[in-house]
Amino acid sequence: MSRKIQITSKQKRLTLGRLSALTAAALSVVLPKAFAQNKTAGNLRIGYQKYGTLTVLKGTGALDKRLAALGVDVKWTEFPAGPQLLEGLNVGSIDFGTTGEAPPIFAQAAGADLLYVGNEPPAPGGEAIIVPKNSTLTSVAELKGKKVVLNKGSNVHYLLVKLLEKAGLNYKDVEVIFLPPADARAAFERGSVDAWVIWDPFLAAAEKQLGARILVDGKGAVSNHQFYLAARPYAQKNPEVLRIVLEELAKVDEWAAKNHKEVASILATQTGLETSIVELSTSRFGFGVKPLTEQVIKEQQSIADTFADLKLIPKRINIRDAVFAVKA
């Protein structure tokens, strides 16, 4: 069991500082008396991965403490990637979690009853196509006919599509192999594949531990948003809990944006990764949770339409159908 990390009193003052006007207007709330008096509100089951603000929040223990006072017990479950996390949400094993752009699209197309409740700013440098340190490949165009491994339905699935497009290649011009991160890394190390499309902190780990070389990252091609998602039944029944979660995420985000080394220390403890790896990955994070804007919804719809055109999802979907407004 991971020990809880305590933020210093100085860090707490920073954490509890003023939120931006936009965030405060969107996320602030006065809880209804009925909820405040309810001491048996039940559980909040959260799915998380080895990165990001949600994992930092887990490390501080702030959310657990705040919700415990309202009778809500927080349960944390780690997942290797977004698609697996949303499968957990779809089958009812978790209520809330965070993923990148692609997983909720695949999940919605497969019938998952999920809702977007917020997102983090773009972080295009946090995902990339990498090659072994001794590889002779120098451009995406040279991937034609090569074996490329990635986690199906993850953010990097869309990254590959866009980067191939920019290089004048079609998706079918490369041999795509689907493996989760741990198995993908093993294949990459064995030399069974020519390139790996991966995100942080697995990206940073490959750079630091394997000497992997970034062929190209997401800058100029994708936004690489992180989304917070909830099961629709849970969101509709417990909007006050979601407000609290977003408020605590906003506080941690504000502090984390100014304290990268401390964030890396918390994440290193939570994930078991070397501090140098986490420091590299956190330098590419985007901090600042907020509700989905029209621009973000349009970008997400464009990704969904691209996957539909490529027959990677079974049907066209409307992202707006799955956007949940957490009202003040």
> In sequence order, which residues have a C-beta less than 8 Å from that of residue 275 and are 6 or more positions away?
264, 265, 268
What pLDDT score does 32 carry? 37
**Whole-prediction pTM:** 0.81
Residues 144, 128: Cα–Cα separation, whole Å? 17
pLDDT of residue 149: 98
Q: How far apart are CA 7 and CA 128, in angstroms?
A: 32
pLDDT in tens, 67-96: 999 999 999 999 988 999 999 999 999 999
Exposed / middle / buried, residue 11 (Cβ in 10 Å: 0-12, 13-18, 19+) = middle
The segments of the chain whose pLDDT lies below 50 read: 1-40
Domain boundaries in the chain?
9-123+225-322, 127-217
Residue 302: per-residue pLDDT: 96
pLDDT at 51: 83
Query: Of 104, 128, 151, 123, which is closest to residue 253 (Cα–Cα)?
Result: 123
Residue 232: predicted pLDDT: 96
Structural fold of domain 9-123+225-322 = D-Maltodextrin-Binding Protein; domain 2 (3.40.190)
The fourth-level CATH superfamily of domain 127-217 is Periplasmic binding protein-like II (3.40.190.10)
* DSSP track, 286-303: ----BPPPHHHHHHHHHH
Radius of gyration of the chain (CA): 20
Strand 175-178 to 213-217 pairing: unpaired
Smallest CA-to-CA distance from 253 within 60, 9, 43, 10 is with: 60
Rounded Cα gap, residues 241 and 146, in angstroms: 47
Q: What is the pLDDT of residues 224-250, one digit of tens each?
A: 999 999 999 999 999 999 999 999 999
- pLDDT value, residue 30: 34
**DSSP line for 179-233:** --HHHHHHHHHHT-SSEEEEETTHHHHHHHHH--EEEEESTTT-----EEEEEHH
Of the candidates 112, 327, 113, the one whose C-alpha atom is nearest the C-alpha of residue 239 is 327
Half-sphere exposure of residue 296: CA atoms within 13 angstroms, side-chain side:
19
Do the domains at 9-123+225-322 and 127-217 have one common CATH topology? yes
Q: What does the pLDDT look like over 251-287, one tens digit per residue?
A: 999 998 888 889 888 889 888 889 999 999 989 988 8
- Name the nearest CA neighbour of 191 among 125, 261, 275, 133: 133
Query: What's the gap between Cα 68 and its chain centre?
Result: 25
